[in-house]
Amino acid sequence: MKLKFTIGLLIVALAGFFFLPKSAQVLRQSITGQNQGVIPPQFGDKSLFLSPIKQVNNIPSAEFVTGLTVPHHLLARDLIAEAFNFASRGKHSQILLISPDHFNLGDSNISTTARNFSSVFGELETDAAAVAGMEKLSFIHEQDFFYREHGLQAVLPFIKYYFPKAKIIALTFKETTPRLQLEQTVDELKKILTPDSLVVQSTDFSHYLTPDQAARRDEQTIKILKQGDAAGLFSLNQPANLDSIASQYVQTRLQNEFFKSKFYLLDHKNSQDYTKEKVESSTSYIVQAYF
């Protein structure tokens, strides 16, 4: 009797797995590491991205853009579209996408993946050889959580739309990543990136402050960005100034030393700009280009 009961429970458990909703199966597969295929998209509504893309009214840069810094709040998706449109004349074969590890899901300070990404505009190919090179560093591990990291997922559709043939290198950084590891990461990236690469930094800036308080923090941040002062970034507060000092440090170092590019302020907004209601806890967006 006990054996029959145990077998019955096993059958029910297996049936429950096979008839899970698709989203739950994806979650289960990601947790167990069984899904080694394409990373599924977090956002499935194509209009969420097409709408701001179709409304872009800025002019693409005549200069070859080597770096962008864009928000990952889709509230500010108009800013993401404008930044990518600005860089759209470039023939970029490789894109480095860097983001915070928002939920500290990685078992290493810096996370990556060799898997391709799915998006509402099609599949993005990962530069597997470049990822293998980055994984030579002991503190960079391949992870399975990128299907739910909005720092990547909010930006990937724009990359696919504007640069459909570019190969991706995705890296996420924990807030506590030591500076020495960031320096070693920059050194390794200098060996892997090419002159036609584009560094896309997914970063939101001042968090949880009133718009007036955020404006003062943004003034501090922009001053350091204009100076190209990578070391000075560590004097800023996270998240009062920005949500990923690590990402901004890697961007600034690469633009200074590898591309020899300069900072250009594309746009600067606050979440207050998107509503008539008074915001007490805001997020700011400092949209950057480098050329």
Q: What is the pLDDT of residues 54-64, one digit of tens each?
A: 999 999 999 99
Residue 4, both tokens: 């029959």
**3-state secondary structure string, 194-252?**
CCCEEEEEECCECEEECHHHHHHHHHHHHHHHHHCCCHHHHHCCCCCCECCHHHHHHHH
Residue 217 pLDDT exceeds 70: yes
Q: What is the pLDDT of residues 24-50, one digit of tens each?
A: 333 333 333 334 799 999 999 999 999
Contacts of 176 (CB under 8 A, 6+ apart): 109
First to last CA, the chain: 74
Sign (positive/negative) of CA torsion 116, 118, 119, 125? positive
Domain 39-290: CATH architecture, name and number where available? 3-Layer(aba) Sandwich (3.40)
Domain ranges of the chain: 1-35, 39-290
Q: Which of 148, 126, 145, 144 lies closest to 42 in space, CA to CA? A: 148
Percent of the chain with pLDDT strictly greater than 70: 88
- Rounded CA gap, 11 and 22, in Å? 20
**Enclosing H/E stretch for 7:** helix 2-18
- Rounded CA gap, 145 and 185, in Å? 21
